[in-house]
Structure 1
């Protein structure tokens, strides 16, 4: 079963101490806190006027995904020919989920932010990334009944100490006011890393990896759910998770990630 929110947010002692100090200072007044810790860019650490945001230079380098894009897969189109469009891939191979959206292409700034949050213990980046995800996924959030993260297997959670998707999901839930389900979907099978696997190998690797516990089915049945992850590559992970949710009676499943790999990225 997924860990509790506290377990998801375990961080090195130094990081927790810094966070506590910031919180204490901010309770004493935002001006005093900003004097002690002036806002800096989440990527390059240059001075900025927006806490937990990006500076103008880094923002301009973030490859945002905006319309026109495939309404099912969220993949961007080079040209806008008007109307709501479907990509050839979505028509030929409709996904298990209903719709996918992402903030940016998995390139340069987005890659750096996701790697640092996932592997570098920079948990504070969930604030920056989650806030942008809530904006990019506002259409999906308007229809969602609840939000849930892609879960980690308990062994992977133990070695990594936190689930980056759960941190992002909590921030998206906080920004949108939607309920957060941390234990409605669990990872029951330990899978090997997806890096380097083909599309077919990824799908086979994740077959049967997710499950909705019997006592959590009422939280899923008849509801429209929004799955949260950091990066969408081939869609194998979110497809396996969406399949488990549909089998448990979910009325619909959408996907929201911070970044997604595109053919020309």
Structure 2
């Protein structure tokens, strides 16, 4: 559009990671795009962990075999590493909320057909104290833009984090499970949106899966049919 061309002349489009000039916004330059470890097949049919070799369509990884996740399937856009870190940290810790629409568009692509049979999109919630200090929930922002592009119903207040846990960063899997235990509850106002529904649970990153499994367990307890997971990154 004409106005877009004018804006591009005044404010030249820049890469969301390195700041170099690009053809259009929002987006990444070719160098930063090439450095991102996007997740594609072959990968675990359950948690989306990339495989070095193609073992077949429905093969799951050793971790999922040893301890099967409660969710149905998980999808992530890219591996969390030094190259993708600026995008995740920019949105999560540096108030770069303008990244959310673009990152949500990548998540929509990564989700594939999981979104096509989702009845509702909900984010992993933040405790009210953390929300007040950060002023926004990055997972809710991503969920909102997924809702806008898909028209799938979105309910940011369905899950409540009522226990103010310490950060999961740096904790072992066992410590993460203990830290997050009993942290979430269902908002009684929205219980009717859970029973027999296919739920898309959105978060920014999967590490050990402790948080998403805790949320999934609660949603299944209240009658959800299936819970699928969609995140920006995974370790």
Relative to the length of structure 2, the TM-score reads 0.96
1:114 aligns to what? 88
1:227 aligns to what? 201
SS of 1:103's partner is strand
1:22 aligns to what? none
2:50 aligns to what? 76
- Confirm or deny: 8 A CA contact 2:17 2:32 kept in the other structure: yes
Q: Report how many residues are paired.
A: 235
Query: How far, CA to CA, are the matches of 1:50 and 1:251 in structure 2?
Result: 41
1:13 aligns to what? none
> Once the 2 structures are TM-superposed, how far is the Cα of residue 172 of structure 1 from its aligned partner?
1.6
2:20 aligns to what? 46
- Confirm or deny: 8 A CA contact 1:145 1:223 kept in the other structure: yes
> Once the 2 structures are TM-superposed, how far is the Cα of residue 249 of structure 1 from its aligned partner?
1.3
What is the CA RMSD across the aligned residues, in angstroms? Answer: 1.3
- Confirm or deny: 8 A CA contact 2:45 2:57 kept in the other structure: no
1:204 aligns to what? 178
Q: Deviations over 1:151-192 (max 9, x none)?
A: 000001001111111111111222222111111111111111
SS of 1:258's partner is strand
- Confirm or deny: 8 A CA contact 1:42 1:128 kept in the other structure: no
1:16 aligns to what? none
Spell out the pairing of 1:113-262 with structure 2 (5 A cutoff): 113-261=87-235
> Once the 2 structures are TM-superposed, how far is the Cα of residue 215 of structure 1 from its aligned partner?
2.1
Query: How far, CA to CA, are the matches of 2:103 and 2:222 in structure 1?
Result: 30
Structure 2 residue 29 is the aligned partner of structure 1 residue 55:
yes
> Once the 2 structures are TM-superposed, how far is the Cα of residue 30 of structure 1 from its aligned partner?
1.6
- Confirm or deny: 8 A CA contact 1:145 1:178 kept in the other structure: yes
Relative to the length of structure 1, the TM-score reads 0.85
Q: Deviations over 1:124-166 (max 9, x none)?
A: 1112211101100122111211111110000010011111111
- Confirm or deny: 8 A CA contact 2:91 2:138 kept in the other structure: yes
Query: How far, CA to CA, are the matches of 2:43 and 2:197 in structure 1?
Result: 26
**Runs of at least 4 residues of structure 1 off by over 2 A?**
81-84
Query: How far, CA to CA, are the matches of 1:154 and 1:81 in structure 2?
Result: 44
Q: Which runs of 5+ in 1 are unaligned?
A: 1-25
- Confirm or deny: 8 A CA contact 2:76 2:232 kept in the other structure: yes
